[in-house]
């Protein structure tokens, strides 16, 4: 009887974990370096008045390639934690910029539903990052996207 009771308690401990740890994915210097081999899920060209000067949207020769690390897609309107999206902007003569967004989660930047914003160099090394990158300009414009701050895939 006593033994059975102990056993029951033990089982409870292992199977009934009340609150799982909040999941967090923190990108590091290796997270973006192979982006060019990821899933190229959108490619946009030329001027886009909605962009203004952002992402070279005022350059008629601009090419904007959007790579999703594992081809992630939103689930019930939300991208999974660990989603990494890189946008490479170039024109007919030169590389212009790499930007990225990462679904970090765990309460990070809850005003932006857990997204962290990045500027990368041509090889995917991190130049700058944060919740409020470029004084909030990234978030300000991406808040207009219809699904979870992402324009190109819903």
> In the β-sheet with 63-68, what is the strand arrangement from edge to edge?
39-45, 63-68, 84-90, 95-103, 115-120, 126-130
Whichever of 106 and 137 has its CB closer to ligand HEC, that residue is 137
Shortest distance in whole angstroms from residue 81 CB to ligand HEC: 16
The whole-angstrom separation of Cα 144 and Cα 127 is: 25
Shortest distance in whole angstroms from residue 4 CB to ligand HEC: 56
Could you say whether residue 32 binds ligand HEC (CB under 6 A)?
A: no
Helical (H) or strand (E) element with 11: helix 2-15
- Residue 143 near residue 151 (C-beta atoms within 8 A): no
Please report, as residue ranges, which positions from 103 to 122 form the binding site for ligand HEC (by CB under 6 A).
Answer: 117-119
Binding ligand HEC (rule: CB under 6 A), the pick from 137, 143, 147, 154 is 137
How is residue 54 annotated by DSSP?
Answer: G
Binding mask 87-106 for ligand HEC (x = CB under 6 A): x-----------xxx-----
How is residue 62 annotated by DSSP?
Answer: -
Q: What residue ranges bind ligand HEC (CB under 6 A)?
A: 44, 48, 50-52, 54-55, 64, 66, 85, 87, 99-101, 117-119, 133-134, 137-138, 141-142, 145, 150-152
């Amino acid at each position: 009887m006593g033994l059975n009771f102990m056993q029951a308690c033990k089982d409870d401990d292992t199977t009934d974990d009340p609150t799982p740890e909040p999941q967090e994915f923190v990108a590091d210097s290796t997270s973006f370096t192979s982006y060019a081999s990821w899933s190229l899920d959108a490619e946009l060209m030329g001027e886009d008045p909605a962009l203004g000067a952002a992402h070279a949207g005022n350059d008629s020769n601009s090419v904007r390639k959007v790579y999703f690390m594992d081809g992630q897609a939103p689930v019930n309107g939300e991208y999974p934690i660990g989603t990494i999206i890189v946008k490479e902007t170039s024109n007919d003569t030169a590389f212009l910029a790499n930007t990225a967004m990462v679904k970090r989660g765990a309460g990070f930047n809850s005003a932006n539903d857990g997204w962290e914003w990045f500027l990368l160099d041509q090889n995917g090394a991190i130049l700058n990052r944060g919740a409020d990158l470029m004084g909030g300009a990234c978030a300000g414009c991406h808040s207009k996207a219809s699904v979870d701050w992402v324009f190109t895939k819903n």
